[in-house]
């Protein structure tokens, strides 16, 4: 049961020879979600061997070019490859008009459904049997959203050998998976912990780019397994970060600490830095489990069982 994040782009507004503009691929149970789509994203998808055909949902944080200019090439390539599956794109602003001002709708071989975000607070925007994606408004120069990917809570797992041993029927199994004990025909109580094991913990990932620091963000990403938070500037450029609607190394670390996240990824680095070491060291000094991302990095969240309740 996979849950991993592949970094396709880690630069800010200007791509470089080593860092493309913002784009991540989130793989949950072999369902692939593209988050942001900066210039050159389709090149990175090919480079890191991610199938175009597996991407059916794209989440765009905001309509600055370094976060969506790659969509024109991605959509065109999808069509040239003969794609038939529907594509869903989630975004604030009127992205549909921007896309169709460049691409002729009649020449696209598949249906595109644009989901325009315009809400306050946390809202679920995508849901399947096992996955939920929420969006939350950020504080940037234009309307911008963060995304939170989370597995739904699972039921307990039956110990298969116990089914024939106690003659468990379908109704019995359903109750046991919900945490109920079992009473045999002879009236003997069999504890749930003897019949089942705890489910795996729900895993989660939050993507926050671009934003100024603000209190509400902490609640949105609280207890997340992996938080990606932009850290465009080192702390000495806090004034510039404020003016441009971005965050510094300290800002990212403060969110991670206050929200009790397990792992922090920082990126969206300004090209004024030939090395990201200063931003990384400043962040790590405040939040130990910090990683400065590079294009091609893959971060996985392992399976871990919940504990039996005492």
Q: What is the dihedral of CA 278, 279, 281, 283, to 10 degrees?
A: 160
CA separation (Å) from 2 to 49, 104, 156, 204? 16, 37, 19, 12
Number of other CB atoms surrounding residue 229 within 10 Å: 30
Rg (CA), the chain: 22
Q: How far apart are CA 205 and CA 25, in angstroms?
A: 11
Number of other CB atoms surrounding residue 124 within 10 Å: 11
Strand blocks (E) in 103-230: 112-117, 123-127, 131-137, 145-151, 157-158, 182-183, 189-190, 196-197, 204-208, 226-230
Q: How far apart are CA 225 and CA 308, in angstroms?
A: 21
Positions marked catalytic: 66
Q: How far apart are CA 184 and CA 168, in angstroms?
A: 9
CA separation (Å) from 277 to 75, 208, 284? 36, 21, 10
CA separation (Å) from 229 to 77, 213, 284? 30, 10, 13
Distance of CA 157 to the CA centre of its chain: 26
Contact 24, 36 (CB under 8 A): yes
Q: How far apart are CA 294 and CA 234, in angstroms?
A: 17
């Amino acid at each position: 049961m996979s849950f991993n994040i592949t970094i396709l782009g880690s630069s800010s507004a200007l791509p470089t020879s080593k860092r493309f503009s913002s784009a991540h691929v989130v793989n949950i149970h072999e369902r692939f979600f593209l988050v942001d789509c900066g210039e050159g994203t389709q090149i990175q998808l090919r480079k890191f061997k991610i199938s175009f055909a597996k991407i059916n949902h794209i989440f765009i944080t905001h309509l600055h070019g370094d976060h969506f200019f790659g969509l024109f090439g991605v959509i065109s390539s999808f069509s040239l490859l003969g794609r038939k599956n529907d594509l869903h794109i989630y975004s604030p602003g009127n992205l549909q008009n921007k896309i169709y001002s460049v691409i002729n709708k009649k020449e696209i071989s598949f249906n595109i459904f644009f989901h325009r975000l315009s809400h306050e607070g946390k809202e679920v925007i995508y849901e399947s049997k096992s996955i939920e994606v929420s969006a939350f408004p950020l504080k940037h120069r234009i309307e911008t959203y963060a995304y939170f990917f989370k597995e739904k809570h699972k039921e307990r797992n039956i110990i298969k050998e116990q089914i024939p041993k106690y003659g468990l029927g379908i109704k019995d199994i359903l109750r046991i998976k919900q945490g109920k004990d079992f009473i045999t025909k002879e009236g003997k109580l069999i504890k749930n912990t003897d019949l089942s094991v705890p489910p795996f913990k729900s895993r989660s990932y939050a993507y926050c780019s671009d934003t100024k620091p603000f209190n509400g963000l902490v609640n949105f990403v609280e207890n997340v397994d992996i938080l990606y938070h932009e850290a465009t500037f080192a702390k000495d450029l806090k004034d510039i970060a404020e003016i441009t609607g971005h965050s510094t190394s300290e800002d990212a670390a403060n969110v991670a600490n206050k929200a009790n996240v397990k792992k922090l990824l920082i990126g969206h680095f300004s090209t004024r830095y030939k090395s990201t070491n200063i931003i990384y060291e400043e962040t790590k000094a405040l939040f130990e489990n910090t990683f400065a991302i590079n294009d091609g990095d893959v971060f996985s969240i392992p399976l871990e069982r919940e504990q039996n309740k005492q």
